[in-house]
Chains A and B, each alone.
Chain A
Amino acid sequence: MSALLLAAQVLAVLTGTADARALVTDPGGTVWVGTTGGLVRAEGDSTEVYTPRDGLPDGTVRSLLRKGPTLWVGTDRGVARCRPDASGLHVQAVVGAGLRVEALAIHAGHLYLGTTTGLFEVREAEVVPHGPSGRVTALASAGGDLYLTRPGRGTYRLQGERLRRLRGDRFAWDLAADGDDLWIATSAGLEHRRAGRRRRDRVERASRDIPARDLRSVRLQDGQPVVGSLGGGAWRYSRGRFHALDTIPPGARVQTLTLGPEGWLAGTPDGVVGAGAPANGGPFPDNDLSALAQTDEGLWVGTFDHGLVLLRGDGTHQRFDETRGLLDDRINRLAVDDAGSLWVATDRGVVQRQGEGFVLRGLLDRHVFALGFAAGAIHAGAGDTVVRFGDGGDTELFPPGARPQDFGGAANLVVATAEGLVQATPDGWALLTSDDGLEDDWVTAVASGPDGLYLGTYASGVARLSGGRVETLRDDLWVNAGALVAVGSSLALGTLDDGLWLYAGERWTQLDTAAGLPDDDVTAVLPAADGTLWVATRGGLARVAL
């Protein structure tokens, strides 16, 4: 490889803001939406998205709390204290770095954080734990006490330094408080407490009549509860029973609620719904991306479990999922054959793009983890099975090793497996393992370069195979399956939580979230025609210039 100094930079980041996990409405009517693609600000018809580029500690926003001019934004890496105004978000401080903050509340003058690792109190700049560890999904202050929900364990009350569990359903998710009244949304309906005592009143009984009463959200309107159901829409209590909010789709999987300027809004995994709901930003139904491929139609982006997205050159995009012609929403890998046709490896088999749709090609109901065009054909791997899809028919191959991860090789097939690198030879198969100098038998990716065959491994970096010899180039990287490509005379690889790495002329360059990537877990890398790189991560898509 030539000794180039790589000056890579992130040109653009594409994320989606569909997964709405937190909602809050300003007194002025601004709606704030916490999503996995950043914080959305919706005012009238305009929306703006704030991401780590704007100072947020992380792009996934799980909780919001508005207190006067301050907006507290709970993310996957702590809480940001913001003072939004017309000119921007203005992050003033971040506390609790490293905490995934799912709930926020101000109680007795202090900010409390409900996180995936427990309850914390912010005292000055210090974050102090309260009680045992474990997920906290909601906080509310009622009757002088702080209440919290811990799914699977129940609802608790913080009295002084002690956490006391309240008797009630243990799958408790959300809270709403009004004076001494406390409402608890559970998977079995709504619970009502007043001054700490369970009411078991008409409202509780009525909530059990809600179809799909797995309630994940509760708010109050004029003192009456409004609840959001996972799969059952949203409902408001009035005159003895719950009435469906007809502005919320009846089957909506409601995660959160807010009363917007035009009516109730519900946050769902597929976006915000309701009267005057802001449109989803970005092309992706979910930012957890798993695969990339380019065909004449455009750039195909696979997601972890939300199907496939086609980004066209004209800026439009199209979604494909189980309801839109795709076999399964879980996209593991993408590949393009020598005819330019897209192949898709899903958790239920392999499909191929034909016309405007997809057709099943094989391995039905199998989890297909590996897919690639190598040795003149598309190959797919599921379990210990490898199938070659050829013009003359599909052939099952039986290479040694186990659990194929990736395919490579031009003339002769090379298979990266969890038990070594397999190469097809005229005499059969040859298996290369740690006995032969590999640092790690678990080979996750393979790519042909000008200086040999490059191998990425699960936890032991990158090696080069040339002339029968194995040379370890770097032994400390975790290379994601299939995330290794030759880019001209360079090598690009995606790693588990260390970002994108580029190798050229024996020099390494790293790009991570500090450099602008949306996430450090890079799942796929694809060279673009213009010399840039498409980089798929678990937090969105980036375009990188070399």
Chain B
Amino acid sequence: MTRTLALTFALAALAPALAAADGPAVTRLVALSPDRTPLGECPLQHTEVTLDVSGATVHARVAQRFANPFDVPIEAVYAFPLPADAAVNAMAMRIDDRVVQSEIMRREAARETYEAARDRGRTASLLEQERPNVFTTSVANIRPGHPIEVTLEYVATVPYAEGTYEMAFPMTVGPRFVPGAPTGRSGPGWAPDTDRVPDASRITPPVAPRGRSGHDIAVRVNLDAGVPVGQPTSPSHELRVRRLDARRVRVDLAAHETLPNADFVLRWPVRPERVESGVLAYRPDPGEPGYLGLVLHPDPAPPTEEITPKEIVFVLDTSGSMSGQPMDLSKALMRRLIADLHPDDTFAVLRYDDDQSALSPTPLANTPINRQRALRFVQNLSGSGGTDALGGVRAAFDYPRDERRLRVVVFLSDGYIGNDHEVIAEVQRRIGPARLFGFGVGSSVNRYLLEEMGRVGRGSTAIVTLDDDPEGQVETFYHRLQSPYLTDIRVDWGGLPVTDRFPDPIPDLFAGQPLQLRARYARAGTGTVTIRGRLAGRPFRQELEVTLPERAEDHSALATLWARSKVDEVERRMHQGPDPALEEELVQVALAHSLLTRKTSFVAVERRVVTDPAGGPPRLVPVPVELPEGVSAEGVFGSDLSLARFQPGDPELRVDAPADARSVTADFPFGEMQELHFEPRIGRWTTRFLVPRETAEGNYHIAIVVTLADGTQERLMQPYTVDGSAPDVAVELEGELRAGASVRVIARQRFTDADRALHGNRRVDILSDVARLRVRLATGERVELRMVAPGHWEGELEVPASERVDLRVTAYDVAGNRGTRLHHFGAER
């Protein structure tokens, strides 16, 4: 039996194009304008990161070196990530042999200062925070031949759990989905600002072709654990490790690991019994308040047989940025999560991208059949479309619940959204007695979003990189979910003069997690601090002898860390909406402690005028960033291409590569390899190929290897869609069916489950693929319709004397599939 099989195929173009080589073969490094047209070479050359770890505190120094490859002064703008809990407290600018220290100012004042200096021809730099984990460095008036280095410093606490410290340093800002209606553009990013993400253009830096952002990174970690430390490892990068003694180790990235496209994750084990509880203090001036940091490692709890019945709602991000490896990893996590469900738990599986759907309308019992259903549901998921994370969260909390069970929401996502605050606020508002756990999936997850969701959800978050073992992460998750943990934590300071304590309230702890508090103290003193709570439902109590010194000059980071904790708590109180008083409180703390926040910025201005202000403002060059490892550019940027027209016959693959490339080879998923030919007329390498007729509908990828003239390679995976479904169009008539009357004919493409399964749930103007519509009356007379919008046609017809209208509607989609439907209106015969 013949089958209506035709093909939709992406006319593939590497976007953006590989630059043609001039002269000796080089891989040119391109900076891009906001509309992604090349401007020239990238001004950011190198980032040098030094992480000095002392115990559980890291002091970091991040040096960004900018140069000017043009022959005119430029202004470079670079959006980059830092750890979400980093307390940035210093910035300096070096020009040639001069160092200019920065000042902390209110954000608006800092920007005015910067812009005024820029317009006057002075070299200036500005460091701003866009999100807790996204920052922007702007450097104005970089002269040709005079590189500038901007150095920032921060302190942070290294998370510890169950014998292991884990430190993550992010390297690139993943491409964010930005919902809302465009309102303008305040920055050089590729997304416009919208009514829901007013700063979208500042958190969406241009994305360079893979491996071609033009800048590299070096990372060194000087680790002094304070106790004997095991061998550091990294699931993300190859390392060079040099052991200095039992407590100290130096770690560098391996020489080839210079591409800033994946979070650097470093783990080091210590023996739990060597990690001690205690208090550190910093008080350089007895006349001023001191700062303290308390760490308590609760005694291990005895095992318990009591298990709370739970209903677990899994929520999977199936948006375009998850396409490819992140989706595979998500599926692997889900297979383990489903397999390891407790026999008495119920579960549900939801997915979201542009919209949401669920495996079942109500939670399912944990039976083999239901687990199989879930596995099949998950296996058939693919990444495409936008990211309505807010919709995903709402769907999870709107899902029918069993009041007798503890609801646990498990969120799997890369977190690439611009409306972080909306989502966090929604979780905070709706969490109630439920708990939310996050799995951040990918090489450069938006950790701030996922970790804050876990925090306000009174759960925890695990970041699972592309090279992590899902099994271990799932085991930890269930261990935390089912193991006793410490709740209702209260601290009695035993009369000591301790104030401004954070976090407040104290979150619950999971097994193996320490309690970490920061506070200020007014006077010296000695006392017993008592920590109380409930552990597995039973009263918990642990005491700690504490001495608050009159003067203490070590551990200066405590002041900055306290200030950062204070700022975080103020921000959390504003999740549900801005508050001018709280914002001012935030500003005052930040200014007092030289802390970078979203309301305060660092600015450094050189006193000398170095460029002629009469020559106009310097040329703005936004620095491109790497696409995170594993993220498909096509999944994020190119998903529209699958609906392009193609020539009848075999689909054509076009690749934008230099004419002098040695070869361009395409390997197709059905086992064929083609060598592409360069076509001068269109400046592309092309080939045609045949998709075997038995190929199932779905999304596939072509592996393309471009060997350039100098022998280097570019590789990418080009997606395409096989669409064998006939299009469907619904028709309605508006007007009275009276003989001789004129009625309006409205035809709309109807999207089937097959369409959604194939293309995701994108906006209809993208999904609509009907290329031609033919409408005829029973008499054979044609009814002319015109397209008023994608998937929407209108026209008019005269009602025949019978006052019955029979229409034969034939729709042809771009793949050549044809669907015909008869529509009948009016009186029955």
Contact = CB atoms under 8 A, between A and B. Distances in A.
Contact of A440 (B325, B663, B818): B818
A497 B466 CA distance: 41
A366 B681 contact: yes
A102 B816 contact: no
A288 B650 CA distance: 13
Nearest to B331: A132
Given A330-B677, A367-B647, A435-B780, A187 B715 contact: yes
Interface stretch (B433-441, B476-484, B686-694): B686-694
Contact of B677 (A134, A152, A347): A347
A230 B379 CA distance: 34
Given A187-B713, A481-B649, A231 B707 contact: yes
A367 B651 CA distance: 13
Contacts of A330: 677, 688
A403 B469 contact: no
Given A230-B665, A231-B663, A347-B688, A153 B325 contact: yes
A481 B648 contact: yes
A235 interface: no
Instruction: Pick from B325, B648, B663, B812 the residue with the most CB of A within 10 Å.
Output: B648
Contact of A116 (B671, B680, B707): B671
Given A164-B469, A435-B782, A132 B328 contact: yes
B304 interface: no
B683 to A, nearest CB: 11
A135 interface: yes
A348 B816 contact: no
Interface residues of A, number: 63
A165 B679 CA distance: 38
A365 B647 contact: no
B763 interface: no
A59 B407 CA distance: 57
A185 interface: no
A396 interface: no
A151 interface: yes
Contacts of B705: 171, 187, 214, 230
B713 A153 contact: no
B674 interface: yes
B679 A135 contact: no
A134 B331 CA distance: 14
B662 A231 contact: yes
A330 B677 CA distance: 10
Interface in B681-708: 681, 686-688, 690, 693-694, 701, 703, 705, 707
A245 to B, nearest CB: 20
A214 B810 contact: no
B274 interface: no
Contacts of B673: 255, 269
A380 B454 CA distance: 65
Contacts of A212: 662, 707, 711
A81 interface: no
Nearest to A497: B693
Nearest to A440: B818
Nearest to A163: B332
A498 B325 CA distance: 38
Contacts of A213: 711
B717 interface: yes
Contacts of B6: 459
Given A116-B671, A305-B687, A348 B648 contact: no
B776 interface: yes
A384 to B, nearest CB: 11
Contacts of B670: 100, 116, 135
A354 B779 CA distance: 54
Contacts of A477: 2
Contacts of B469: 164
A504 to B, nearest CB: 22
B121 to A, nearest CB: 47
A8 interface: no
A211 B679 contact: no
A348 B679 contact: yes
Contacts of A364: 681
Contacts of A367: 647
B649 A369 contact: yes
A534 interface: no
A329 interface: yes
Interface in B709-734: 711, 713, 715, 717
A442 B648 contact: yes
A167 B467 contact: yes
A182 interface: no
A214 B677 contact: no
Nearest to A21: B671
Nearest to A135: B669
Interface in B330-373: 331
Contacts of B325: 153
Nearest to A436: B780
Contacts of B216: none
Interface in A434-457: 434-435, 440-442
Interface string A70-100: 0000001000000000000000000000101
A285 B690 CA distance: 18
A328 B694 CA distance: 30
A270 to B, nearest CB: 11
Contact of B671 (A62, A304, A434, A459): A62
B648 A369 contact: yes
A477 B780 CA distance: 25
A458 interface: yes
B425 to A, nearest CB: 36
Contacts of A135: 669-671
B667 interface: yes
B338 to A, nearest CB: 14
B331 A498 contact: no
A403 B816 contact: no
A253 B674 CA distance: 12
B715 A153 contact: no
A305 B674 contact: yes
A475 to B, nearest CB: 10
A122 B687 CA distance: 36
A426 B331 CA distance: 65
Contacts of B238: 200
Interface in A329-346: 329-330
A93 to B, nearest CB: 22
A538 interface: yes
A476 to B, nearest CB: 5
A418 B665 contact: no
A20 B6 CA distance: 30
A373 to B, nearest CB: 21
B649 A365 contact: no
A328 B648 contact: no
Nearest to B716: A152
A538 to B, nearest CB: 7
9 contacts: A100-B670, A167-B467, A328-B677, A405-B648, A435-B782, A441-B812, A459-B2, A498-B2, A521-B693
Q: What 9 A-B pairs are tightest by C-beta distance, nearest first?
A: A365-B681, A152-B703, A497-B693, A116-B671, A152-B717, A167-B467, A151-B703, A116-B670, A135-B669
Given A187-B705, A255-B673, A435-B782, 12 more contacts: A116-B670, A134-B669, A151-B703, A171-B715, A187-B713, A214-B705, A329-B677, A366-B681, A418-B648, A434-B774, A435-B776, A459-B2
Interface of A: 62, 76, 98, 100, 102, 116, 132, 134-135, 151-153, 162, 164-165, 167, 170-171, 187-188, 200, 211-214, 230-231, 253, 255, 269, 288, 304-305, 328-330, 347-348, 364-367, 369, 383, 403, 405, 418, 434-435, 440-442, 458-459, 476-478, 481, 496-498, 521, 538
Interface of B: 1-2, 4, 6, 238, 325, 328, 331, 379, 466-467, 469, 471, 647-649, 662-663, 665, 667, 669-671, 673-675, 677, 679-681, 686-688, 690, 693-694, 701, 703, 705, 707, 711, 713, 715, 717, 774, 776, 780, 782, 810, 812, 816, 818
